[in-house]
Structure 1
Amino acid sequence: MELFTVKSIGKVCVDKKGTRLKLDKEYIPALTNLEGFSYINILWWFDQCDHSDSRSKLIEKSPYKDSPEMLGTFATRSPERPNPIALTCANITYIEAENGVVGLAYMDAEHGTPILDIKPYTPSLDRVENPSMPQWCASWPKNVETSGDYDWSKVFNF
């Protein structure tokens, strides 16, 4: 088994002031010229699922209505996976580069979650015009902008 070193570059902050990324001081220069991008891809660590039970779960009961009963981990966005790495595309609301802060409209991570990396969202590399989807999820929203207004209770079993 090959081992890798992955270091957190900061933390997710979620409180009354909203959602934001707070970078460790040494990584603040990496925000240079991020202004102008409206979205970023954030790689983060599902730290609450970083244990042997979650890392060994490869098949699970589907949380989705109208889907197959069982799904492989790689067919889900589950936090329980061999390497608990998550990816979120988020809308930037403000940048305080001098303080290492990036404000976000929303992010599906808990307060204190470790951030692994930030990459600007660029349509030429990140956008797929006509992706194929299994029938059970083909009716889901087609983009991040409409996803926030979608009634996800129609999709999930909980």
Structure 2
Amino acid sequence: MEQFNLKAIGKIQVNDDGIKLLIAKEYIPALTNIKDFSYINVLWWFDRCDNVEARSKLTEKSPYKNAPELLGTFATRSPERPNPIGLTCSYITSVDYENGIIHLAYIDAEDGTPILDIKPYTPSLDRVENPLMPDWCSGWPKNVEDSGDFDWNTVFNF
């Protein structure tokens, strides 16, 4: 297969001060006008799952209640996948252009995770009005805003 070279544009910082995207100095100009968007799509690298075993996993024992017992990797958001790329739609709380910092309300990545790219969330490209979902996850929240208040313990087996 074809090989690609990726370069991290920064790191995710998660600590008691909140969640921040720390953008490398050379990429700070790329943040120009990002504050005009309320949400961004953050592509990040599951660096703690970047090994031969995790990249070889093509099926997953379902972590979801009421789901099929076995799911294909591409039918999950598992970090164990051929290319360990994560994607999170995140709400921007503020932007520090001078220091290259985007403050977020939430991201499902760990402290120190490399950032691959940032794209603005735009409904014309990122929103599907009536997506089809399997029955086992059709009761999940319909948007990011409601996901924060949802009891995810009712969904997962762990």
TM-score class, shorter-chain normalisation, is: over 0.9
Matches of 1:53 and 1:137 in 2, distance apart?
28
CA deviation vs aligned residue, 1:85-115 (integer Å, no higher than 9, x gap): 0100000000001110000001000000000
Q: Give the aligned partner of residue 29 of structure 1.
A: 29
Matches of 2:76 and 2:156 in 1, distance apart?
12
2:24 matches 1:60: no
How do 1:38-57 and structure 2 match up within 5 A? Answer: 38-57=38-57
How do 1:3-152 and structure 2 match up within 5 A? Answer: 3-152=3-152
Report the count of equivalent residues. 158
The list of structure 1 runs, each at least 4 consecutive aligned residues, that deviate by more than 4 angstroms after superposition, is none
Q: Aligned-pair distance for 1:36? A: 1.4
TM-score for the superposition, normalised by structure 1: 0.99
Matches of 2:90 and 2:48 in 1, distance apart?
21
CA deviation vs aligned residue, 1:97-143 (integer Å, no higher than 9, x gap): 11100000010000000000000000011000100000110000000
Q: Aligned-pair distance for 1:14? A: 0.7
Gaps of 5+ in 2: none
Secondary structure at the residue paired with 1:54? helix
Q: Which amino acid aligns with 1:142?
A: K
TM-score for the superposition, normalised by structure 2: 0.99
Q: Percent identical across equivalent pairs?
A: 70
Matches of 2:35 and 2:156 in 1, distance apart?
36
Gaps of 5+ in 1: none
Matches of 2:83 and 2:118 in 1, distance apart?
18
Secondary structure at the residue paired with 1:115? strand
CA deviation vs aligned residue, 1:31-53 (integer Å, no higher than 9, x gap): 01112100000000000000000
